[in-house]
Amino acid sequence: MRKYWPVLLSIVLMVASAGVFKTLLDAGAFDRVWDHPLPHCQVLPGLVGTEDLVQIPGTQKVIISANDRAHIKPWSANGLYLYDLEQASRAPVLLSGSTGLAWHPQGLSVWKEGEGEGQLIRVFAINHSDGSDKVEVMDLRGDALIPVRSIEFPGIRTLNALVAIDSSSFYVSQDLGAQTSYGQLLEKYLRLPHGKVWLHRDGKTEVSAEGITFPNGLALSPDQKYLYVASMLDRSLLVFERDPARLALTLKNSIFLDTAPDNLKWAPDQRLLIGSQLHLLDLAAFAEDPLSHRSPSQVIAVGGLPDAAVIEEIYSSTGEMFSGVSTGLQVGKYWLMGTGFGEGLLVCGSAED
């Protein structure tokens, strides 16, 4: 038996090396990165962890989710902020009502109905509170958020993104199935498909899709026939067909992006904008210490959905000026980008330039 040990050891080492190589490849460790800037960009300082951005339909106003997860600026208040691009030189304003819930917000969505004084602007926000995550449902009135309801997800601490279907229903992604830090680490590095998409409607919260590798950003098609899901660790955009009469989503297509997608937002021309991470190992280091590490990232646009995807790079960066772009959003003549762990909001000039 001893004479076979060198052979067995060689096989084990080869398998382990292949696994490490595959992990590095999937993490984008060998991908080239270059700067592809947009014109007239500046970092608007102050906020930390500007993970998600959402435009209030029909306005130049943007709600920002800010959460200093790495504790790099203790005096910066976590919460939801309102940024009015008609007064772009002014700093975002902390919305009253968004700090009294021990806020640690992440994913956002907005539903708007009506116009004028009778309009409804309903805000949905994931809040990582102690014990279990929640989705806070609020109405925006001026600079104040008025609580409507709080939907708990018992035992779950890994909600990531959400998208409103109407004024009371939404989808929300759960990126990891494991709830311990060790289990989550294994799930990430082994790329285990334990993520889920939940549907909340009619007062019930149920799993609508599962077996997904780190589902992140969500977007509903304008006709609400399709739900798009960013599978971050599979570097893919998943296309699910919706039947409003059924709970379960049906997987229609998986579009390989060759980059790790984060949040999803619609552009005015109906292309899907995706903030994405180019090197996931750099992102992990950036998350641990945003002051010392840089994380290359980009924003891409996907047109031709759902059947004939055409991918175009809008922006990319080695991370020197602004690291770890989690969200790309086009509002009028402006491009805005948020970061999940660093400081600031990247605001770039005319989208028509």
Domain regions of the chain by residue span: 28-348
112: Cβ contacts below 8 Å, ≥ 6 apart:
56, 57, 58, 119, 120, 121, 122
CA distance 96 to 79: 9
This prediction has a pTM of 0.91
What whole-number distance in Å separates Cα of residue 274 and Cα of residue 255?
13
Which amino acid is present at 30?
A: F
- What does the pLDDT profile of the chain (353 residues) look like in tens digits? 555 455 444 444 444 343 433 444 444 444 567 799 999 999 999 999 999 999 999 999 999 999 999 889 887 889 999 999 998 888 999 997 765 667 899 999 999 999 888 899 999 999 997 778 999 999 999 989 999 999 999 999 999 999 999 999 999 999 999 988 889 999 998 999 999 999 999 999 999 999 999 999 999 999 999 999 999 999 999 999 999 999 999 999 999 999 999 999 999 999 999 999 999 999 999 999 999 999 999 999 999 999 999 999 999 999 999 999 999 999 999 999 999 999 999 999 854 54
Contacts of 306 (CB under 8 A, 6+ apart): 221, 226, 239, 252, 253
Alpha carbon distance, N-terminus to C-terminus of the chain: 71
| Site of tokens 């190589």 | 21
Q: Among 107, 96, 94, 92, which Cα is nearest to 61's?
A: 92
For residue 100, the model assigns a pLDDT of 62
| Domain 28-348 part of CATH 3.40.190.150 | no
